Amino acid sequence: MDNEVNVMPRIGEKAPSFRAVTTQGPIEFPQDYKGKWIILFSHPADFTPVCTSEFITFGKMAKEFEDLNCQLVGLSIDGLFSHIAWLRTIKDKIDYKGMKNIEITFPLIDDVTMHVAKMYGMLQPGESETKAVRAVFFIDPEGIIRTILYYPMSLGRNFDEIKRILIGLQTVDNFEVALPADWRPGDEVIIPTASTVKAAQQRAESKDKKGFTYYDWFFCTQALSKEEVESKLGKKK
C-alpha cells in the first residue's frame, strides 16, 4: 500500500526494531548495538557506480566511525549473495581515488522483501517503488533517532557532513549546548537561551567575560576547544 511505503519514523522516536540477515550474520536491530551510536544507511542497488563509490568511502572511514563508538549498518533491496559478490568485487577489483583493497566489515542487510525499507520510509515512489533512496539515520546509544538525511538515488552522500553530524550530536549531548551553522570542533558553541528576565540580565552583564560572546539575550556563545570536544568523543555516557 502506498501509505505504508511512505511511513517514516521521526526524530526523537525509538528506532523501529527488526531482525535481518546481513553479510556479517543475523542481527537484532537496534538491540545488538545498545550503548553505541548507529548510522543506518540505505542504497538503491548493488553493482551500481554511485553506491560503489559510497561503500568504498564508508569502508575506508570505518575505523574513524568505530573510534566514535559508532556502528555502520547498510541496507539494499538486493539479496545476500548479490551483496557478497558485490563486496568481493569492491575489494578485489576497484581502485577509486587511491582507495583499493577495501574490505567492508560492517553488516549489509538483505532486504529483498523491502520490509525494513518500508518500515524506515526508504522507498520514495517518485524515485522508485522497488529501490531505496539514499537514507541515513543517526541513532543514539539509547536507540533514539537523532538525525535523518535523504538523498536522491543519483546523488552521492557527503561523508564529511555525515561525520560532522555524528561529532556534533555527541558534542550536544556531552556539553549540553547547541551548535551554530557550519560548526566544527574548536568553534564557539551556543549556550542555552536565558529562560527568565533575571537570567537574560545576567547574560547582558557578562558580555565582556573572556570566552563568552554576547549577541543578544537569546543568542550567546562560549568557547569550547577542539581538545575538549575530542576528549569526550566516542565515550559511553
198-204 mean pLDDT? 83
DSSP 120-187: TT--BTTTBSSS--EEEEEE-TTSBEEEEEEE-TTS---HHHHHHHHHHHHHHHHHT-B--TT--TTS
Return the percentage of the chain with pLDDT > 90, whole number: 73
Higher pLDDT, 33 or 195: 33
**pLDDT score at 127:** 59
Enumerate residues 6+ apart whose C-beta is below 8 A from 149. 135, 136, 157, 162, 165
126 pLDDT above the threshold of 70: no
**Digit-coded pLDDT (tens) for 204-225:** 887 778 888 999 989 999 999 9
**pLDDT score at 191:** 92
**pLDDT score at 130:** 56
**pLDDT score at 129:** 57
124 pLDDT above the threshold of 90: no
Confidence at 5, pLDDT banded by 50, 70, 90: very low
**Digit-coded pLDDT (tens) for 58-112:** 999 999 999 999 999 999 889 999 999 999 999 999 999 999 999 999 999 999 9
**pLDDT score at 152:** 86
How far apart are alpha carbons 89 and 56 in whole angstroms?
Answer: 11
Higher pLDDT, 37 or 131: 37
**pLDDT score at 194:** 81
Residue 51 is a catalytic residue: yes
| Strands 108-110 and 70-76, sheet pairing | parallel
**Digit-coded pLDDT (tens) for 140-179:** 999 999 999 999 888 999 999 999 999 999 999 999 999 9
**pLDDT score at 211:** 86
**Digit-coded pLDDT (tens) for 22-40:** 999 999 999 999 999 999 9
DSSP-H helix ranges across the chain: 2-6, 49-67, 80-93, 115-119, 159-175, 197-205, 226-232
**pLDDT score at 226:** 97
User: Of these residues, 15, 20, 51, 87, which one is catalytic?
Assistant: 51
